[in-house]
Amino acid sequence: MKKSFRHYLITALCIILLSPLLKSQNDEKPEAFGIRFEGYVKNDFFYDSRQTVDAREGHLLFWPKAPSLDDNGNDINSQGSFNFLAIQTRLKGIITGPDALGAKTSGVIEAEFFGHSNSDINGFRLRHAIIKFDWKKSHLMTGQTWHPMFINECFPGTVSFNTGLGFAPFSRNPQIKYSFTAGGLKISATAYSERDFPSRDITGVASPSYIRNSGIPGANIHLNYGTSNKDAGTAFNTGFAVNYHTMLPSLTTAANYITNQTVTSLSGLAYVNAKMSKINIKIAGTYCENPTGIMMPGGYAVFEQLDTITLESSYIPTRCATGWIDISTTGTKWNFGIFAGYNQNLGTAKNIIGIPGGFGTDIEHFYRVSPRVNFYTGKIQIGAEIEYTVAAFGDGTYNSKGVPLNPKEVANVRFITGIYYHF
């Protein structure tokens, strides 16, 4: 009995002495790791006043089609069309996990039902898949996400899914990106490849093998500066980026001889995003060479024939200059905005042989104006937009630098309504 009593007494004393330590350990709850899902269900309803150059049954609009005349001289492409689609419905998983290599780690997976082509429409396709390592001032990101010329800090807020496509770069790419921050300053360096948004060759065929076969990944340097005042609801962000891109459009010449002639291009952009208490103004300007991989009209041309037997030729990229502005109110229930953009074909820097090829090289200029309104209530968002797009097509002749001659403007008006259910 004494031994048993002594045993219970010692046990009780140990519990009393250790209870503060046990309590403190219980109070320190382990950080929760896992995945959190968000996204939206979206339905789009739209009508176009004429046939358009587009993707996914018209959902992703580029510009109106050039006139195509029947035997009576009537424009076949003047016929309007409509569509209802829900393919932009999106699911995003935000992943958190324990530290690694002395950095906070996280990840993102995002997909939608947009498909990879018209034949795959409604297909579940990957948008973003990234891994992030965040040290105090340094950051490393690998995976597929926005092209470094698509500026997350400053992009158009359109209802249309094209997000200012043709005026603002638009692409998602596999990449590795290193960033360094110091106060409001951020410097990023990116190396990237192409997958879902590949560049095109001179015949207009798109393939990610062109950049891969060049042996040189795309490279980008981006400098950004931003400040914000949460209490006042204001923010300011500005920056610029320079982009280098090389592609080998073919392994052989037309005479079936090996060739290593590449198309090398250099592009750049600058932007400003000023958010005030009641209005947000975004402005950006872009200079692009061979920009088909970022969904802009352009391409390249034959600069010089190097050998008459092998038919090996050197190439030179076409160029374009774009500018856009997006102005919107900052209301949380009603939000009004307008987007306007302009794209000018600059042709090549030197005289060329033949005519350029790629995507939309027959356009001398094009522009767009699109006013919009958004209404928010709970998790519901309803957006409406009128998108007026004009493209000036040449008559099939070009000057010595590949700019289309005698351009004639063709317009399309799109009426679009989008209904979102955010979750």
Residue 116: what pLDDT? 87
Give the chain's domain count: 1
Please write the tens of the pLDDT for every residue from 5-17: 555 545 554 444 4
Cβ pair 322, 315 in contact under 8 A: no
pLDDT, tens only, 358-382: 999 999 999 999 999 999 999 999 9
* Mean pLDDT for the stretch of residues 295-313: 97
Q: Report residue 341's pLDDT band, with 50, 70 and 90 as the boundaries.
A: very high
Average pLDDT over residues 97-101: 96
CATH (domain of 166): 2.40.160.10
| 233 to 212, 228, 275, 282, 338: CA distances (angstroms) | 45, 8, 8, 16, 21
For residue 34, give both structure tokens. Answer: 């896992």
Confidence of residue 118 (pLDDT cuts 50, 70, 90): confident
Tell me: pLDDT of 101 over 80. Answer: yes
Residue 9, φ and ψ in degrees, nearest 5: -65, -45
**Which residue do the tokens 């603002």 mark?**
168
Residue 5, in any domain of the structure: no
Distance of alpha carbon 355 from alpha carbon 350, whole angstroms: 13
Judge whether 275 lies within some domain. Answer: yes
**pLDDT at res. 4:** 54
Position 54 scores a pLDDT of 96
Q: What is the pLDDT of residue 21?
A: 46
Give the contacts of 81 (CB within 8 A, at least 6 positions apart).
Answer: 47, 48, 51, 58
* pLDDT (tens digit per residue) in 406-421: 999 999 999 999 999 9
* HEC string for 153-199: CCCCCCCCCCCCECCECCCEEEEEEEEEEECCEEEEEEEECCCCCCC
Domain of residue 383 covers: 36-422
> What local confidence, expressed as pLDDT, does residue 12 receive?
52
179 is a domain residue: yes
Residue 1: Cβ within 10 Å count: 5
CA triplet 320, 201, 211: central angle to 5 degrees? 90
| 18 in a structural domain | no
At residue 117, the pLDDT reads: 87
- pLDDT of 169 reads 97
pLDDT beyond 90 at 31: no
Extended beta strands in 215-296, E state = 218-229, 234-247, 263-275, 279-289
